[in-house]
Amino acid sequence: MNIEIILNELNITSFLSYENIIGGRDSSVWKVKVSDEDSYALRLIPKHRHQQFKEEKMIIQLAEENGIPVPKVHFVKKIEDYSLMLMDWVAGKTIFNELYEYPENAREIGIQFGKVQAAIHMISLPKTGESGSEEWLSPKTSEENEILDLISTHGSKNENVLLHLDYHPLNVLTDGEKITAVIDWNNASRGDYRFDLARTLSILRIEATKPGTPFENSPSVIEEFEKGWLEGYGEIRKINIEPLSLYNAWAGIRMKRDLSENLLETDRLRIQQWISYWLEKKK
């Protein structure tokens, strides 16, 4: 892809530099520096997914109106073979990097992380009749159908609250004091808050300490972070979190589909063990 042609079409002609950001899994992300202080984040996906960016922009604006720190979105637009989203680049680093640099602060970082997720779950997202906001939760396999049936017979409250569904340390940015932005609202949906908590927990437990990753040999950092996360969450919502077992099983099943294209056998086994553990626990 020729990023200069795209910048030119966007009338961003006086940029200082640009770089491709490694780490984007779902989209291609570029940091475009336009002055010493200001940069944009330019995200690109194939143009047949344009609707996804349009919905994401609406969700980000709803979050912003409700006081959630998010980057300002300037526009989404189709150019050549891409749908692109231009947003402000938020200074700071990912929670992941913060944890890596200051593992001794894991608990405090977790508290901040949990408080913001709780605030997201206090935003109601009324049903509009439009498709889209339930897309990521919609079952696509018989295994997903079964677990969602179990969840609905065991007392899902069918809450209509905003769920991020990819709320993890790479998608939350911090300046070291407070959270400066929640990004990557790609999967955002409406539903019961436990889907979102289970999704975060599954990522922390299955992915964050996986062999070959930075926290492989320091699982206690992630454990402390996890304690802080739930503590911060409870401080804001003042509820007793209801049982998560079935939701955790769902999160594993959903993760399997999400990663299916590039899943190693060892990873598939890890996810499978997680699913079996939570299904067993429920019995």
Ligand X SMILES: Nc1ncnc2c1ncn2[C@@H]1O[C@H](COP(=O)(O)OP(=O)(O)O)[C@@H](O)[C@H]1O
Q: Which of 1, 25, 48, 269 binds ligand X (CB under 6 A)?
A: 25
| Minimum distance, C-beta of residue 16 to ligand X, in the bound complex (Å) | 17
**87/90 Cα distance (integer angstroms):** 9
Q: Is 27 in the site for ligand X (CB under 6 A)?
A: yes
At 34, which helix (H) or strand (E)? none
Closer CB to ligand X, residue 77 or residue 237?
Answer: 77
Write the burial class of residue 142 (CB in 10 Å: 0-12 exposed, 13-18 middle, 19+ buried): exposed
Q: Which positions from 145 through 204 interact with Mg ion, judged by CB under 5 A?
A: 171, 184
Binding-site partner at residue 85 among ligand X, Mg ion, none, CB < 5 to 8 Å by type: none
Residue nearest ligand X, CB atom distance: 24
Write the burial class of residue 32 (CB in 10 Å: 0-12 exposed, 13-18 middle, 19+ buried): buried
**264/247 Cα distance (integer angstroms):** 24
Candidates 167-175, 216-224, 246-254, 270-278 — which segment interacts with ligand X by CB under 6 A? 167-175
Q: Which of 6, 7, 32, 41 binds ligand X (CB under 6 A)?
A: 41
Angle, alpha carbons 58-173-70 (nearest 5°): 20
| Minimum distance, C-beta of residue 39 to ligand X, in the bound complex (Å) | 8
**205/114 Cα distance (integer angstroms):** 16
Q: Which residues would be at the binding site for ligand X (CB under 6 A)?
A: 21, 23-27, 29, 41, 43, 71, 87, 89-90, 94, 170-171, 173, 183-184, 186
